[in-house]
Chain A
Amino acid sequence: MDHSGIQTTPNAVPGAKPKPRPRRTNPVMMCLNAVASLRLTVVLFVFAFALVFLGTLAQVDAGNWTVVKQYFRSFFVWVPYLTLVRFGQVFLYFPKDMDVPGSFLFPGGRLLGCLLMANLLAAHATRFKFIWKRSGVLILHAGLIIMMLSEVSTSLFAVEGNMTIVASGSSNYVEVHNTVELAFVTPADSKTDDIVVVPEAMLRKGGRISSDELPVDVEVVRYLANSKLSKEPPPRDRNTATAGFGLESEAIEQKEGSGVETEQKIDTPSAYVTLYSKQDGKSLGTYLVSLRLKDQPILIDSKPYEISLRFKRAYKPYTIYLKEFHHDVYIGTDKPKNYSSVIQVIDPSRQEDREVTISMNNPLWYGGETFYQQGFLEGDTGTILQVVRNPSWFLPYLSCAMVAAGMLVHFGIYLLNFLNRRIAT
Chain B
Amino acid sequence: MISFARFFPWAVVGAGGLYLFLAMLPVADSDSEMHLNEFARLPVVSGGRVKPFSTEANNSLLIISSRQSFKDPKGNAQPAIKWLLDAMVSNRLFKQDAALSHEVFRIENDQVLNLFELPRKPLFYRYSIDELSPRMEKFGHQVEVARNVDAKQRTLFDQKILDLENHLQLYATLANLREPRMVPPSGDSMEWHTLASSISEAAESGDPDPNTLSLFAILGSYSKQDVKGFNAELDKYQQRLAKEMPVETSKAALEAWFNDFEPFYHCIFLYIFVAILACVSWLVWREPLNRAAFWLVVLTLAVHSLALLTRMYLQGRPPVTNLYSSAVFIGWGCVTVAVVLEALFANGIGNVVGATLGAMTMLVAFHLGSSGDTLEMMEAVLDTNFWLATHVTIVTFGYVATLVAGFLGIAFILLGVATPWLNRDLFKGLSQMIYGILCFATLLSFTGTVLGGLWADYSWGRFWGWDPKENGAVLVVIWNALVLHARWGGIAKPRGIAILSVVGSMVVGWSWFGTNQLGVGLHAYGFNKELAQGLLIFWSVMGGFILLGLLPTQKWSSFGTQVGSTPPPRRPPRKRGEPPVFRGDKGSTAIRSTRR
What is A's interface to B at a CB cutoff of 8 Å? 2-10, 13, 15-16, 18, 37-39, 41-42, 45-46, 48-49, 52-53, 55-57, 59-60, 64, 67-68, 71-72, 86, 90-92, 147, 150-151, 154, 160, 261-262, 329-333, 335-339, 360-361, 363, 370, 372, 374, 386, 388, 390, 393, 396-397, 399-400, 403-404, 407-408, 411, 414-415, 418, 422, 425
Cβ of A393: which chain B residues have Cβ within 8 Å of it? 457, 463
A419 and chain B: residue at smallest CB distance: B344
Asked if residues A68 and B466 are in contact (CB atoms below 8 Å), the reply is yes
Taking CB atoms and an 8 Å cut-off, the chain B residues in 385-404 that contact chain A are 387
B577 and chain A: residue at smallest CB distance: A8
**B208 CB–A CB distance under 8 Å:** no
The contact of A339 among B380, B439, B522, by CB within 8 Å, is: B380
Cβ of A407: which chain B residues have Cβ within 8 Å of it? 439, 442-443, 446-447
Cβ of A361: which chain B residues have Cβ within 8 Å of it? 381, 383-384, 387, 458-459
A328 and chain B: residue at smallest CB distance: B380
List 25 A-B residue pairs with CB atoms under 8 Å apart, sorted by A's residue number.
A5-B591, A16-B489, A41-B489, A48-B478, A52-B474, A55-B466, A60-B518, A64-B465, A86-B518, A91-B532, A147-B450, A332-B46, A336-B380, A337-B377, A338-B380, A360-B380, A374-B460, A396-B450, A400-B451, A400-B453, A403-B446, A403-B450, A404-B446, A411-B443, A418-B432
Tell me whether A10 and B424 are in contact in the complex, defined as CB-CB below 8 angstroms, given that A331-B181, A396-B463, A411-B440 are known contacts.
no
Asked if residues B532 and A10 are in contact (CB atoms below 8 Å), the reply is no
A387 and chain B: residue at smallest CB distance: B461
The interface bits of chain B over 461-479 (1 if a CB of A lies within 8 angstroms of the residue's CB, else 0) are 1111111100110110011
Asked if residues B485 and A160 are in contact (CB atoms below 8 Å), the reply is no
Tell me whether A64 and B521 are in contact in the complex, defined as CB-CB below 8 angstroms, given that A56-B468, A92-B536, A331-B191 are known contacts.
yes
Tell me how far the C-beta of B344 lies from the nearest C-beta in chain A, rounded to whole angstroms.
7
Apart from A4-B593, A8-B494, A154-B463, 13 more pairs, CB < 8 Å: A4-B591, A5-B594, A7-B431, A9-B490, A42-B485, A64-B520, A72-B466, A262-B520, A330-B47, A332-B45, A335-B48, A335-B377, A407-B443
The contact of A59 among B488, B520, B593, by CB within 8 Å, is: B520
Q: How far is the CA of A396 from the CA of B466 in the complex (A)?
A: 15
The interface bits of chain B over 123-166 (1 if a CB of A lies within 8 angstroms of the residue's CB, else 0) are 00000000000000000000000000000000000000000000
Cβ of A15: which chain B residues have Cβ within 8 Å of it? 485, 488
Tell me whether A42 and B489 are in contact in the complex, defined as CB-CB below 8 angstroms, given that A6-B594, A8-B494 are known contacts.
yes
The contact of A16 among B379, B381, B490, B578, by CB within 8 Å, is: B490
Tell me how far the C-beta of A74 lies from the nearest C-beta in chain B, rounded to whole angstroms.
12
B533 and chain A: residue at smallest CB distance: A91
Cβ of B488: which chain A residues have Cβ within 8 Å of it? 10, 13, 15-16, 38
Cβ of A363: which chain B residues have Cβ within 8 Å of it? 458-461
Cβ of A332: which chain B residues have Cβ within 8 Å of it? 45-48, 179-181, 192
Max chain B Cβ within 10 angstroms of own Cβ: one of A13, A41, A56: A56
Tell me how far the C-beta of A221 lies from the nearest C-beta in chain B, rounded to whole angstroms.
38
**B454 CB–A CB distance under 8 Å:** yes
Cβ of A399: which chain B residues have Cβ within 8 Å of it? 450
Cβ of A56: which chain B residues have Cβ within 8 Å of it? 468, 471-472, 515, 518
Tell me how far the C-beta of A106 lies from the nearest C-beta in chain B, rounded to whole angstroms.
15
Asked if residues A5 and B424 are in contact (CB atoms below 8 Å), the reply is yes
Asked if residues B482 and A360 are in contact (CB atoms below 8 Å), the reply is no
Q: How far is the CA of A361 from the CA of B459 in the complex (A)?
A: 4
Q: How far is the CA of A336 from the CA of B566 in the complex (A)?
A: 75
Cβ of A262: which chain B residues have Cβ within 8 Å of it? 520-522
**B74 CB–A CB distance under 8 Å:** no
Q: How far is the CA of A6 from the CA of B431 in the complex (A)?
A: 11
Cβ of A41: which chain B residues have Cβ within 8 Å of it? 485, 489
**B49 CB–A CB distance under 8 Å:** yes
Q: How far is the CA of A13 from the CA of B591 in the complex (A)?
A: 24
Cβ of A397: which chain B residues have Cβ within 8 Å of it? 454
**B517 CB–A CB distance under 8 Å:** yes
